[in-house]
Structure 1
Amino acid sequence: MARSLTEVPIVSRRAWAGGLRDAGINASSPYAAADTAIDTLSGYLPENRSPDAEILPGRNRVTARARDLVRNNGWAAGGVAKEVDSVIGSNFRPLLKPDWRALGLSAEWSREFKEQVEARWRSYADDPRLFADTTRAQTVSQMFGTAYRTYLIEGEAIGVLNWRRFRPTKTCLRLVDPDLLSNPNGAADEARLRGGIEISRDGVARAFHFRQAHPHQGYFDAADAFRWKRIAREGRNGRPQVIHFFDKVRDGQTRGISRLAPIVEKLKMEDHYARVELQAAVINAVLAAFIKSPMGPEVIDEMFSEGGGEGFLNYQGARGQFYGQSNGIRVGGARVSTLYPGDEIGMVNTARPAAQFADFESAVLRNVASGLGISYEQLASDWSKTNYSSARAAMIEIWRGWTARRASFAQGFCQPFFMAWLEEQVLDGHIALPAGAPDFYEHWPAYARTKWIGPGKGFVDPVKEAQASAMRVALGLSTLEEEAAELTGTDYADNMEQIRSEMEAMPEGTLHPMQESFAKLLGNTGGAALDDARRTTSED
């Protein structure tokens, strides 16, 4: 009987399972990822644990390995340095944007307030006397760079805000080694105290316990290594006292984990393989040649058995005496070396490094670069196979990640410090609020609203990217302030002030490049508008 085209054949469960076994898949779960009968996954049985149960027990070991790699592995050190330089750079600073609409104040006040606050911040942050640092060792930008480096390697950045009465500005920041954040007396973690952090019923970190000295620092701090100090997260009026920044990836997570954790194993494998290849290459270079004796094992055994070893010793002595003497003749002034009868010259095979070494290293570095969030070309400094399109695409992708990390770090670590500094400036009267202005503490975030500026993106093709920037501004898709911050890492207001002074210093009749129109920048001639600008400059 003919089967209908729409009829579904009935297959017994046993036949179905047998077919799967024939195909190499013994399915016991609707999802292959959950199937324990598959050979490739049978031993892969990770556990589901809480975030702190995953992180806290092994955190110290992960941190120690990450630190060691950054100290001793060039790829790890270079990758960390590149990210710190690109995200924080040498002059990480706030671009104040007070929310004047939320405050019910004017845009004119906003501009004046911005200029006044930023001027005082520059004097404070860049003071060569280093009063912003409790230890007086770094400027503010340098402290931010150190904190970001600690976050990258150890998974978290910690700072304590201090008050030093006899400094020009009393607010200062003390960076804290994450190793010092721990439970008092080494107590075990519990529901309300984990990793040195007191946690409220709502899961809020309300206080931190810091060991007063590193346990492995030395005998001179032995007593302080067993003393802890409790510091509340916030003081009166909500002033920050402890700043703790880390990537929170799951609910209930208390401490951070090194960003290098997923690539520690591969970095160590690559490092070991590279060392072995280098050692082999050095040995091959040192042992370029050797002398081969014609005597085999059988001959040596025979000489030992017949003469009790004297025959062999006499033979070796004669060879040593021969090579210790000047065993050559001269023909026309040139020396011709001779060998002991029966000896031959052998050359060491110098096929090092191994043919597959470069491919192996490239594959490992691509994995490491992906883990760090940068491109292989940046990590390896290898641009031999890169064209403009691929470089541009890589830059856009990487810059998106760096921009997100910069914004996250700025809001989580830098902004609380800035708010504490601004509070002091307002309360001490250095920065005055207008009459009738809203209460500072009720609108603290609105007064301190900022965008943090770091290094610019840079250019792959300066001309094309400058033209694209001008087009975005011309079409209303961006602003000159945004473009200056993104491309060059500068403040547009500062740029304009400098350009204004340069225009005043230009010789009569000379046009400053800034006075060129966007049309000319986009490739047009400028025409009559350009001539008018020149005439105006000459008349002025």
Structure 2
Amino acid sequence: MSQSWTEMPKVPRKTASLGERDAGFHGTTPYTAADSTIDTLAGYQPENRAVDSEILPGRDKVTARARDLVRNNGWATGAIAKEVDSVIGANFRPLLKPDWRALGLSAEWAREFKEQVEALWRVYADDPRHFADTTRSQSVPQMFATAYRSYLIEGEALALVNWRRTRPTKTTMRLVDTDLLSNPMDMADGERLRGGVEITRDGISRAYHFRQGHRNASYAQSADAMRWKRVAREGRYGRPQVLHFFDKQRDGQTRGISRLAPIVEKLKMEDHYSRVELQAAVINAVLAAFIKSPMGPEVIDEFFGEEGDGSGFLNYQAARSDFYKDRKGLSLGGARVQTLYPNDEIGMVNTARPAAQFADFESAVLRHIASGLGISYEQLASDWSKTNYSSARAAMIEIWRGFTARRTSFAHGFCQPFFMAWLEEMVIDGHLKLPQGAPDFYAFWPAYARSKWIGPGKGFVDPVKEAQAAAMRVSLSLSTLEEEAAELTGTDYAENMAQIQAEIAAMPENALHPMQESFAKLLGPAVYQQDTPED
């Protein structure tokens, strides 16, 4: 008799013994990660909470610890400095790319508009008088670097877009300490006000409340520390007034958390371990040798017996002291020979410090820290002794991908809104003229201000190979000269060409500029074979 297709064969299953269940070899849920009976997970019972309930209660403590580590821990300080230098650098600036197709204008207009806007931006952003800074202490690229540093350490970058009528350009930026963003009168977080941020029903950050003085500032008046000012997120026509950037990891998140949070404990433990090893090495270096007395507990007991007054011990110590006082020893062939009190011995301190496993242990910890920061161990430790070209190149590509993503995110979330506010002033004040029949500026504001932000280039591991690779990408239409210039050297291709044209014009007669040589030479002899010119 054939078996019906609806009848499923029964698979015999082995029943686990009590010992096997206790050992954790068989789970009680489909997902082992959800099994509470497994020994290794029995005490691991985290809770699911709303994201702000996870971040806001402990955010101040995390921020304080992260700041302390950056102040006092060399690894943390170096990691933060390296990322700021790699992502923002010294001249972080926009490369304007107005969307002329969306605007219904010509490519020629877009090119002229780009040149005008970038020229005005350079004058404004790099002004050594620092009129762009409300406090007149930094240039615009420097403020961007400070804001990014705050984002790394404190988890968010915060600034106000001000309007100062007495400045040559009225749009200014004021960086704000994230500690000042808080609920009025330090009230508890609620559904519509959390961490100093007002939230609408749709989850939009509508306004921000800023404490007018730091609560722990020794110079601040108590009245300022307990006064708050409400600032709307946007002003008239959507002009940005508050710039607030952080990594949003879950829906409903209102404030950011330090990028160092996952590795604070590792950094502190590594710092403590290094201090202990250093202290031990210093003590060993200072106390290299000592003199051992032959007196043991039995001898001392005889000196201090029930009827003894200890005079014998005191006399013995006085005799040893007199012996070593001003003792110069003997000289034998120019070498000094030290004489000891009878029965005394020289003892040497064991100088095996740091511990033999210290370097390997520190490397393992630093690899964990580097992974948490999103950089390579070689970058964090500045240790390239065990790295060849291939591994260095692979590490650079991997790390640079993360740097590029963070640069793009920070530029769009923090820098671009400020650039749009500045561009609005340039248009409404008449510094920039829109063509006849151009679309309304406010309706197409993002299209007029569309930009790609340029920071430092990723540099070269092997300049010759990477220059040849860049030339091949351009020749195969996989990239452009503009993109290669921005990625490899952090420069603007249009500015490079203008400078090269000036250099060619200044070259002596019958002298060729290197740019005038065939571009294909960069591809190497395997791709391009130059013909020998005939006489």
Question: TM-score when scaled to structure 1?
Answer: 0.95
Query: What letter matches 1:10 in structure 2?
Result: P
Query: What is the correspondence of 1:455-474 to structure 2 with a 5 Å cutoff?
Result: 455-474=456-475
Deviates more, 1:415-424 or 1:510-519: 510-519
User: Whole-Å Cα distance in 2 between the matches of residues 88 and 326 of structure 1?
Assistant: 65
TM-superposed CA distance for 1:355, in Å, is 1.1
Q: What does 1:313-352 correspond to in 2, within 5 Å?
A: 313-326=314-327, 328-331=329-332, 335-352=336-353
What's the secondary structure of 1:145's corresponding residue?
Answer: helix
The residue that corresponds to 1:480 in the other structure is 481
Decide which moves more: 411-420 or 517-526. 517-526
Partner residue in 2 for 1:495: 496
Q: Residue 22 of structure 2 contacts residue 38 of structure 2 at CA under 8 Å; is this kept in 1?
A: no
> Cα RMSD (Å) of the superposition?
1.7
**Whole-angstrom distance in 1 between the partners of 2:30 and 2:479:** 50
Query: How far does the alpha carbon of each residue in 1:498-526 deviate from its partner, in whole angstroms, 9 at most, with x for none?
Result: 00010011111111111122221112476
Query: Which residues in structure 2 correspond to 1:168-247 (within 5 Å)?
Result: 168-247=168-247
The aligned counterpart of 1:34 is: 34
| 1:393 to partner: Cα distance | 0.2
Matches of 2:19 and 2:312 in 1, distance apart?
74
Aligned partner of residue 173 in structure 1, secondary structure: strand
Indicate the residue corresponding to 2:125 in structure 1.
125
Q: C-alpha distance in 1, partners of 2:298/2:517?
A: 92
Partners of 2:130 and 2:137 within 8 A in 1: yes
Match of 2:12 among 10, 14, 18: 10
Alpha carbons of structure 1 residues 327 and 446: separation in structure 2 relative to 1, 3 Å: closer
Shift of 1:325: 3.5
SS state at 1:160 partner: strand
CA distance in 2, matches of 1:288, 1:115: 70
Q: State the AA in 1 paired with 2:121.
A: W
Partner Cα separation in structure 2 for residue 74 and residue 332 of structure 1: 50
> SS of the residue aligned with 2:405?
helix
Structure 1: how far apart are the matches of 2:24 and 2:423? Answer: 67
Question: In the TM superposition, what is the alpha-carbon distance from 1:248 to its structure 2 partner?
Answer: 0.2
Matched, 1:71 2:60: no
2-structure distance, mates of 1:332, 1:354: 39
Q: CA deviation at 1:112?
A: 0.1
* Counterpart secondary structure, 2:16: helix
Change beyond 3 A, Cα 1:333–1:406: closer
Q: 1:352 to 1:334 in 2, by over 3 A?
A: closer
Segments of 5+ residues of structure 1 without an aligned counterpart are 1-5, 536-540
What's 1:425 paired with? Answer: 426
Quote the Cα distance in structure 2 between the aligned partners of 1:488 and 1:219: 45
**Secondary structure at the counterpart of residue 411 of structure 1:** helix
Q: TM-score under structure 2 normalisation?
A: 0.95
* Deviation (angstroms), 1:167: 0.6
Cα shift readout 1:145-180 (whole Å, capped 9, x = no counterpart): 000000000000001000000110000000000000
Residue 300 (structure 1) shift: 0.7
Q: 1:17: how far off? A: 5.1
Aligned pairs (5 A) from 1:102-181: 102-181=102-181
Instruction: Write the letter of the residue equivalent to 1:42.
Output: A
Q: State percent identity of aligned pairs.
A: 77
Answer yes or no: is the 8 Å Cα contact 2:155–2:258 preserved in 1. yes
The C-alpha deviation readout for 1:80-101, integer Å capped at 9, x for no partner, is: 0000000000000000000000
Q: In the TM superposition, what whole-angstrom CA distance separates every residue of 1:352-408 from its partner, at most 9, and x where no partner exists?
A: 001111111101100000011000000000001000000000000000000000000
Instruction: Give the SS at the match of 2:304.
Output: helix
Deviation larger for 323-332 or 59-68 = 323-332
**2:207 partner SS:** strand
| Aligned mates of 1:24, 1:163 — CA distance in 2 | 65
**Aligned twin of 2:443:** 442
Residues 7-41 of structure 1: CA deviation (Å, up to 9, x unaligned):
765346xx335474275435222211111111111
Amino acid aligned to 1:486 = E
Shift of residue 221, structure 1, vs aligned partner: 2.9
Q: 1:309 to 1:164 in 2, by over 3 A?
A: same
When structure 1 is superposed on structure 2, of 28-37 and 150-159 the one drifting more is 28-37
Q: Is the 8 A contact 1:69 1:268 kept in 2?
A: yes
* Alignment gaps of 5+ in structure 2: 1-7
CA distance in 2, matches of 1:237, 1:200: 19
Q: Distance in 2 between matches of 1:466 and 1:327?
A: 70
Q: Which moved more, 1:503-512 or 1:189-198?
A: 503-512
**Quick one: distance in 2 between partners of 1:101 and 1:329?**
97
Return the alpha-carbon distance in structure 2 between the equivalents of residues 114 and 325 of structure 1.
85
Matched with 1:254 is: 254
TM-fit CA distance, 1:476: 0.4
Would the alpha carbon gap of residues 444 and 285 (structure 1) be closer, same or farther in structure 2, given more than 3 Å must change? same
Which residue in the other structure is 1:538 paired with?
Answer: none
Q: Distance in 2 between matches of 1:49 and 1:145?
A: 34
Query: Closer, same or farther in 2 for the Cα pair 1:121/1:9, shift >3 Å?
Result: closer
Name the structure 2 match of 1:55: 55
Tell me the residue number matched to 1:395: 396
Distance 1:10 1:331 in 2: 92
Task: State the alpha-carbon separation in 2 of the partners of residues 531 and 162 from structure 1.
Answer: 64
Matching residue's letter, 2:363: S
SS at match of 1:495: helix
CA displacement at 1:328 relative to structure 2: 2.3
Q: Cα distance 1:453–1:334, how it changes in 2: closer, same or farther (>3 A)?
A: closer
Query: Are the structure 2 counterparts of residues 334 and 409 from structure 1 closer, same or farther at C-alpha, using a change threshold of 3 Å?
Result: closer
Q: CA deviation at 1:220?
A: 3.6
Residues 27-70 of structure 1: CA deviation (Å, up to 9, x unaligned): 22221111111111111110000000000000000000000000
- Deviation at 1:331? 4.4
Q: Name which of structure 1's ranges 357-366 and 407-416 shifts more when overlaid on structure 2.
A: 357-366
Q: 1:327 to 1:117 in 2, by over 3 A?
A: closer
CA distance in 1, matches of 2:74, 2:509: 55
Is the 8 Å Cα contact of residues 199 and 205 (structure 1) preserved in structure 2? yes
Aligned partners of 2:25 and 2:467: how far apart in 1?
57
Residue 414 of structure 1 is matched in structure 2 by: 415
- Superposed, 1:255-334 pairs within 5 Å as 255-305=255-305, 307-326=308-327, 328-331=329-332
The question of whether the paired residues in 2 share the 8 Å contact of 1:75 and 1:380 is answered with yes
- Code of the aligned partner of 1:79: A
Take 1:22 and 1:194, find their aligned partners in 2: how far apart are those partners?
A: 45
Letter in 1 for 2:171: T
Q: Hey, what does 2:94 align to over in structure 1? A: 94
Q: Hey, what's the Cα distance between the residues in 2 that align with 1:399 and 1:216?
A: 39
CA contact (8 A) 2:66 2:264 kept: yes
C-alpha contact 2:411 2:453 (8 A) present in aligned 1: yes
